[in-house]
Amino acid sequence: MAGQISLVSLYPSHLTAKQPCSQVSRTKYTPPPPNKPRSKAKSQVILVTGGGSGIGLSLVKTLVTSGSQVFAVDISPAPSATELQVPNYKFLQCDLTKPGAPAAVVSACVEAYGEAIHGLCNVAGVMDDVSSVDTVSEAMWARNIGVNLTAPVFLMQAVIPHMLKAGGGSIANVASKAGTSGAIAGIAYTAAKHGLVGATKNVAWRFVNDNIRCNAICPGGVATNITQSVDLAKMDAGGMARARPVQDLHALPGAATDYKQLASNVPGPERQSNVLVFLMSDLSAEVSGAIIPVDHAWSTI
C-alpha cells in the first residue's frame, strides 16, 4: 500500500537475510580500557547544606577526612567537632530561605576555594506536622516548600555554572520515602519531597551531556534532630492516625511505639551519608537520575 514503510527495510540486509547465524559477519567487541575510580571524593570542592548536624554533619566529617575541600552551610551555629578544625573545611551560618541566600552561599564557596565546584549535597531539611490538605497552615506549607524544595533548586541553579567550569560535577539531593509515597507524612513535606525527586530527574536529563550528574537518596527513619523542626506536641492527630500504620511497617525490632521516641530506635545518619559519599565519588560515574531508597526495604511497601 502506498505510503507504508516496510519494517524489514529499516534493518541491514545481513540481519534480514535467511541464513544461519554462523554466516552473519560479526564485529569483534573490544572492551574499553578499565577506569581507575577513586574510592573517595578526594581533592574536590563540595558544598554541603545542613552541615551542622545529622546526615549533613556525618557527611562533612567523612569528606573532610578524605581530603575534599568542604564548604558547609547550616541555619545553626558551626559544630565544634575537633576533626573539623582543619584548613579544608569552611562553615557559613545561613538561612537558605532568605531571598538571594542560595546565590550568596555559592559566592561564599567560590571566594573560599575558587571558581570550580565539583559537588553539591542538598541535605538541609525540615519536617511538617503531618497535617493534611484540610488542616495544613500556610506557614507550614511555605516553610516546607522553602527549605525542602526552593532552596535546593536555586542552589543547583547557582552551582551549575561553576560545575561547568570544573568540567562536570555531582549533585546529590536528600529527598525522603515521602518523596515517593503519599502515606507517611503531611501534605507539605510530601509535596516538597516529591518536587525534589522531580527536580532531580529534570536536572539529570538536562545536563546529561555536560558531565553533571544529579541523584537523590530517599531515607527512611533516621536518628537525627529533624524532629526538633516541629512541635511534636502539636502534631496533627488525624494525619498521624493515617500515617502511623505505614510507619510501623518500617519499625525495627524493639522500636518505640511513641512517635516522640522513634528517632532513638532507627539507624544513625552514617547509613545515609555513606551513600552520599559514594555519589560524590568517581565510583558512581554512571549513576545519574537515580532515586535511591536507603530505608531498610521500606520502599518495597
List, for residues 11-60, the tens digit of each pLDDT value.
444 444 554 444 444 445 444 444 444 444 557 999 999 999 999 999 99
Tell whether the model's pLDDT for residue 254 goes beyond 80: no
Q: Are 47 and 117 in contact (CB under 8 A)?
A: yes
Closest residue by Cα to residue 50 from 29, 69, 68, 70: 70
Question: Which of the residue ranges 9-18, 71-80, 149-158, 253-262 has the most confident prediction, judged by mean pLDDT?
Answer: 149-158
Residues in the chain: 301
- The answer to whether residue 5 scores a pLDDT higher than 70 is no
79 vs 64: CA distance, rounded Å: 14
- Return the pLDDT at 260: 43
**CA dihedral defined by 93, 95, 99, 100, rounded to 10 degrees?**
30
User: What one-letter code names the amino acid at 36?
Assistant: K
* Active-site choice (40, 90, 177, 189): 189
Please name which of 264, 222, 257 lies closest in space to residue 240, comparing C-alpha atoms: 257
Choose between 256 and 76: higher pLDDT.
Answer: 76
What's the one-letter identity of residue 289? G
- Range of lowest pLDDT (130-139, 206-215, 230-239): 230-239
Query: Which pTM value belongs to this model?
Result: 0.80
Asked if the model's pLDDT at residue 188 lies above 90, the reply is yes
CB 263 within 8 A of CB 188: no
Spatial separation of the C-alpha atoms in residues 179 and 201, rounded to whole Å: 13
Which triple of cell numbers denotes residue 271?
A: 547509613
Model confidence at 199, pLDDT cuts 50, 70, 90, reads very high
With 0-12 / 13-18 / 19 or more C-beta atoms within 10 angstroms meaning exposed / middle / buried, residue 132 is middle
Is residue 226's pLDDT more than 90? no
Average pLDDT, the chain: 83
Catalytic residue among 36, 89, 193, 260: 193
H or E stretch at 214? strand 212-219
What average pLDDT score do residues 72-77 get?
Answer: 96
How high is the pLDDT of residue 297? 80
pLDDT of residue 10: 42
| pLDDT recorded at residue 80 | 86
78-90 burial, b if ≥16 CB within 10 A, otherwise e?
Answer: ebeeeebeeebbb
Contact 120, 46 (CB under 8 A): yes
Please check whether the domain covering 37-294 is classified as CATH 3.40.50.720: yes
Give the per-residue pLDDT at 237.
75
* In the predicted structure, residue 87 carries a pLDDT above the cut 50: yes
| Per-domain boundaries in the chain | 37-294
**Cα diameter, the chain:** 79
pLDDT band, very low/low/confident/very high, at 200 (cuts 50, 70, 90): very high
- Is residue 261's pLDDT more than 50? no
Active site residue 193: yes
> What pLDDT, on the 0 to 100 scale, is given for residue 149?
99
Q: Where does the pLDDT of residue 82 fall: very low under 50, low under 70, confident under 90, or very high at 90 and above?
A: confident
Provide the sign of the torsion angle of the four alpha carbons 150, 278, 51, 108, taken in this order: negative
